[in-house]
Chains A and B, each alone.
Chain A
Amino acid sequence: MKLKKNIATSENGFIFNPATGDSFSGNAMASEILLAMKNGDTEAQIKQQLLQKYEVSATQLNRDWEDWIVQLKEANLLEAAIYDSK
Chain B
Amino acid sequence: MQKLVYERPYIKKLTAGVMNKFGSRSGGKPFEYIDNVPVKSLIASYGSPLFVLSEKQIRRNYRAAYRAFSTRYPKVQFAWSYKTNYLNAVCSIFHQEASWAEVVSGFEYRKALGNGVPGNKIIFNGPGKTADELLLAIENDSLIHIDHLEELNQLIILAEGKANKPRVGIRVNMDTGIYPIWDRFGFNYESGDAWAAILKVINSGRLQLAGLHCHIGTYVQVTGAYGIAAAKMASLALRCKAELQHSIAYLDMGGGFPSTNTLKGSYLPGTDTIPTIDDFAEEITGTLTKAGFANDELPLLILESGRILIDDAGYLLGTVIANKRLSEGKRATIVDFGVNVLFTSFWYEHQISPAQEFAPNMENMVVYGPLCMNIDVIRESINLPLLNPGDNVVVHKVGAYNMTQWMQFITLRPAVVLIDEQQQVHLIKAKETLDYIERDEHVPGHLK
**Residues on A with beta carbons closer than 8 Å to the beta carbon of B5:** 54-55
The one of A14, A53, A55, A64 in contact with B9, judged by C-beta atoms closer than 8 angstroms, is A64
Kindly state whether residue A26 has any CB partner on chain B within 8 Å.
yes
**CA–CA, A54 to B6, complex, Å?**
5
Among listed B11-19, B60-68, B181-189, B253-261, interface-contacting one: B11-19
**Residues on A with beta carbons closer than 8 Å to the beta carbon of B325:** 67, 70-71, 74
Distance of A19 from chain B, by nearest CB (Å): 14
Main SS at interface, chain A: helix
The one of A15, A23, A24, A55 in contact with B6, judged by C-beta atoms closer than 8 angstroms, is A55
Number of interface residues of A (CB under 8 A): 28
User: Would B9 and A30 count as touching, CB distance under 8 A?
Assistant: yes
Interface of chain A residues 3 through 40 with chain B (CB within 8 A): 14-15, 22-30, 32-33
In the complex, the chain B residue whose C-beta lies closest to that of A60 is: B6
Number of interface residues of B (CB under 8 A): 17
User: Would B9 and A33 count as touching, CB distance under 8 A?
Assistant: yes
Kindly state whether residue A81 has any CB partner on chain B within 8 Å.
no
Main SS at interface, chain B: loop
User: Would B3 and A54 count as touching, CB distance under 8 A?
Assistant: yes
Assuming A27-B361, A29-B8, A74-B325, is B3 touching A22 (CB within 8 A)? no
**Residues on A with beta carbons closer than 8 Å to the beta carbon of B296:** none
Kindly state whether residue A44 has any CB partner on chain B within 8 Å.
no
The one of B14, B323, B359 in contact with A27, judged by C-beta atoms closer than 8 angstroms, is B359
**CA–CA, A32 to B11, complex, Å?**
12
User: Would B13 and A26 count as touching, CB distance under 8 A?
Assistant: no
Interface of chain B residues 1 through 57 with chain A (CB within 8 A): 3-14
User: Would A27 and B3 count as touching, CB distance under 8 A?
Assistant: no
Kindly state whether residue B444 has any CB partner on chain A within 8 Å.
no
**Residues on A with beta carbons closer than 8 Å to the beta carbon of B14:** 14, 22-25
Kindly state whether residue A80 has any CB partner on chain B within 8 Å.
no
User: Would B7 and A29 count as touching, CB distance under 8 A?
Assistant: yes
The one of B4, B8, B11, B361 in contact with A15, judged by C-beta atoms closer than 8 angstroms, is B11
Kindly state whether residue A83 has any CB partner on chain B within 8 Å.
no
**Residues on B with beta carbons closer than 8 Å to the beta carbon of A33:** 9
In the A-B complex, the 4 residue pairs with the smallest Cβ-Cβ separation, listed nearest first, are A56-B6, A54-B6, A74-B329, A26-B11
